[in-house]
Amino acid sequence: MHISSISEPEQGILLQFQYPDGSRKSRRFWESQPIQDLFAFAGSDNMASEVFSVQLAWSSNTILSTVDGSLSDYEISSPSNLYVLWMSGVQIEGLTASSGASSDSQSNAPHNLGTIQVSVQSTEQNIASSASSAPVLPEIESSFGVFEGKTGQVFFTYDQASVEMRRYYTAGKLIAWSLIHGGPGIKALDTTLFQLMCVQNVIVEDFDWHNLPDGETQDKVRQVFLCKTQEEMNGIRSNLGEWIADCGVPGIYSATLDDMRRIYGQVIKHYIYFRTADMINQFKDGMNCCGNFWKIAELNWKVFLPVFTNQQKPLTREDFRALFTVCWSEAGSNLREREEDTIFCWELFLNKIQEKQSRVTFEEVLVFITGADSIPPLGFRGQPRIDFYRPENRRLPFASTCGMVLFLPRGIQEEEDLTDMLNTALKGYCGFGKI
């Protein structure tokens, strides 16, 4: 049935769909409405694949477009954001097989193949057990040595021993496992490398050689990049010709000055991608063991770009405020009035952070409340809340990171009082593992 023949309920729940190309559209549905109506709407796109999937922002489950039932059968009963992911036939077959294997190994697992649930048995229990509640990358860097480079622009190491020990596979598996369970993603791969891994056409000639992790290699490619004269080119042939040829660019010996930028790009591409192809492929295999995660990411690479690369922008006041709901007392009550006093001071506290007049940042406040220093790609599984307590002996604000609740004292009327209490609480707590 075409979506145009299905009326949109005025009072239904509002669902917003985000597509692989970054576009969005929304529509209202009844929670009792057939889920195929949802897929008819989501699939009314020129780029839609014959079979595709959607994923609720707060859920780790992927729902295939072949399922039946109502929206409520898939826990779609309130306004939500859904990610639309196009898939190939091979990917759908792999996902179905993965789900079937999971169902066979878990007696309590659901038998509905429309909802993909992934289980990972990691041999590194100490990392896997905290993969969804702490940054995975630092643990992997310190324990596996599969990445190198500066923060936010890492590359794969060239380590054959680690390949034999399947460390790159384990790293990929842990990162996929963390993402599936609501983690923030790796957010560290060099952007050019990620696009090459996704088989995209990248203008490698524009790559900044300063980002390479090895100083000696930086010096070599710098000479190629800055080559402007015939004399400099002759010197490169004499001193670096053999090294460049070993990078798969034997054309250096017959190149002209006009070819040097192209040769530079070819050398960069060899160093960051082709040289470590075995390591990269093993990493992809590790991710694909979790429901063909890498295949989905590769097909929808623009959506996953901020998940794998460092494109995160600092949190703003608007971002931060939109995360929280306030647990008010009954309207008109004395408690409600005192809570409104506190929230007024809280708003002023947030304004000071936005204006960079505070000792703390939004990221530090978010860690204090949720354990995460950024908003996960799929959103938090529940909505963070602000609740209140009766102030006793100047008790400091406190938080439950498991429930993602910040508790503030009622009746605070002076901005400075709440600011001092929050600064003391934030700077004095022992810390918490970040998601």
On the question of a common fold for 3-116 and 317-428, the answer reads no
Least trusted range by pLDDT, from 20-24, 124-128, 314-318: 124-128
Q: Is domain 317-428 in CATH 3.90.15.10, yes or no?
A: no
The span from the CA of 240 to the CA of 143, in Å, is 35
Q: Given a cut of 80, is residue 411 above it in pLDDT?
A: yes
Least trusted range by pLDDT, from 73-87, 102-116, 298-312, 328-342: 102-116
Whether the CA torsion 306, 312, 316, 321 is positive or negative: it is: positive
Q: How confident is the model at residue 20 (pLDDT cuts 50, 70, 90)?
A: confident
Spot the catalytic one: 289, 290, 327, 402.
Answer: 402
Q: Would you state the pLDDT for residue 22?
A: 66
Q: Would you state the pLDDT for residue 246?
A: 96
Q: What is the mean pLDDT of residues 384-405?
A: 86
Q: Given a cut of 60, is residue 183 above it in pLDDT?
A: yes
Strand partners, 405: 385, 400
Q: Which of 54-68, 116-130, 338-352 has the highest mean pLDDT?
A: 338-352
Q: Would you state the pLDDT for residue 219?
A: 96
pLDDT digits (tens, 9 = 90+) for 208-221: 999 999 999 999 99
Full-model pTM: 0.55
Active site residue 402: yes
Q: Would you state the pLDDT for residue 6?
A: 81
Q: What is the mean pLDDT of residues 94-100?
A: 50
What is the domain partition of the chain in residue ranges? 3-116, 125-202+276-308, 317-428
Tokens coding 258? 């006009």
Q: Whose CA is closest to 346, among 331, 372, 365?
A: 365
Q: Would you state the pLDDT for residue 124?
A: 41
The span from the CA of 217 to the CA of 280, in Å, is 20
Q: Would you state the pLDDT for residue 230?
A: 95
Please compute Rg for the chain using Cα positions.
26
The crossing angle, in degrees rounded to 10, of helices 136-144 and 167-180 is 170
3-state percent breakdown (helix, strand, coil) of the chain, nearest 5? 45, 15, 40
Provide the CATH topology of domain 3-116: Ubiquitin-like (UB roll) (3.10.20)
Q: Would you state the pLDDT for residue 78?
A: 84
Q: Given a cut of 70, is residue 9 above it in pLDDT?
A: yes
For the chain, give the percent of residues with pLDDT over 90.
50
Tokens coding 29? 């549905």
Q: Would you state the pLDDT for residue 141?
A: 63
pLDDT digits (tens, 9 = 90+) for 225-272: 999 999 999 999 999 999 999 999 999 999 999 999 999 999 999 999
pLDDT digits (tens, 9 = 90+) for 145-167: 899 998 788 999 999 999 999 99
